[in-house]
Structure 1
Amino acid sequence: MTAITANISTSLDGYVAGPNDGPENPLGDAGERLHEWVYGLESWREVHDLDGGESGRDDEILEESTENVGAVVMGRRMFSNDDGPWGDDPFEGHWGEDPPFGVPVFVLTHHAREPLEMDGGTTFTFVTDGIESAVAHAMEAAGDRDVSVAGGARTIQQTLEAGLLDELQLHLVPVLLGDGIRLFERSDGEQRELERTRVVESPNVTHLRYRITE
Structure 2
Amino acid sequence: MSKLLYSATMSLDGFIAGPDGDMSWLSDYLATPNPGADLLMDEIGSLLVGRRTHTGDDPNAGTEDEGAFGGRWVGPVVVLSRSPERFADTPGLMFSGDVREAVAAAKDAAAGRYVNVLGAGVARSLIEADLLDEVMVFIAPFLLGDGVRLFDRPGGRTVRLEPVDRPEITGPTGRWFEIARRS
| Structure 2 length-normalised TM | 0.80
In the alignment, structure 1 segments of 5+ residues that lack a partner are: 22-27, 42-57, 83-93, 118-122
Preserved contact between residue 73 and residue 134 of structure 1 (Cα < 8 Å): yes
Percent of paired sites with the same residue: 31
Contact 1:71 1:138 in 2 (8 A): yes
Question: Please, which of 151, 176, 182 is the counterpart of residue 209 of structure 1?
Answer: 176
What's the CA shift for 1:33? 2.7
Whole-Å separation in 1 of the counterparts to 2:116 and 2:138: 15
Residue in 2 that maps onto 1:25: none
- Ranges in structure 2 where 5+ consecutive residues have no aligned partner: 58-65
Which of 41, 58, 81 is residue 56 of structure 2 equivalent to?
81
Question: Runs of at least 4 residues of structure 1 off by over 4 A?
Answer: 199-202
Match of 1:157 in 2: 124
User: Following the alignment from structure 1 to structure 2, what is the Cα–Cα distance between the partners of residues 134 and 66?
Assistant: 20
The answer on whether the counterparts of 1:15 and 1:181 sit within 8 Å (CA) in structure 2 is yes
Native 8 Å contact 2:18 2:25 kept in 1: no
Cα distance change, pair 180–171 in 1 and its aligned pair in 2 (3 A): same
By how many angstroms is 1:126 displaced?
Answer: 1.6
Match in the other structure for 2:93: 124
Cα distance in structure 2, aligned partners of 1:146 and 1:201: 19
Matched, 1:170 2:144: no
Q: Indicate yes or no: 2:117 matched with 1:143.
A: no
Q: Which residue of 2 aligns with 1:14?
A: 14
Structure showing greater Rg = 1
Q: Distance in 1 between matches of 2:176 and 2:144?
A: 22
Q: C-alpha distance in 2, partners of 1:187/1:4?
A: 23
The structure whose RCO (Cα within 8 Å, separation 6+) is larger is 2
Contact 1:115 1:125 (8 Å CA) reproduced: no
Specify the SS of the correspondent of 1:189.
coil
Give the whole-Å Cα distance in 1 for the aligned partners of 2:110 and 2:89.
Answer: 17
CA distance in 2, matches of 1:135, 1:79: 16
Report how many residues are paired: 166
Matches within 5 A, 1:106-121: 106-113=78-85, 114=88, 116-117=90-91
CA distance in 2, matches of 1:213, 1:63: 27
Is 1:40 matched with 2:32?
yes
Aligned CA RMSD, in angstroms, stands at 2.3
What is the deviation of 1:95?
4.0
* Conserved? CA contact 1:5–1:167, under 8 Å: yes
SS at match of 1:65: helix
Post-superposition offset of 1:188: 6.0
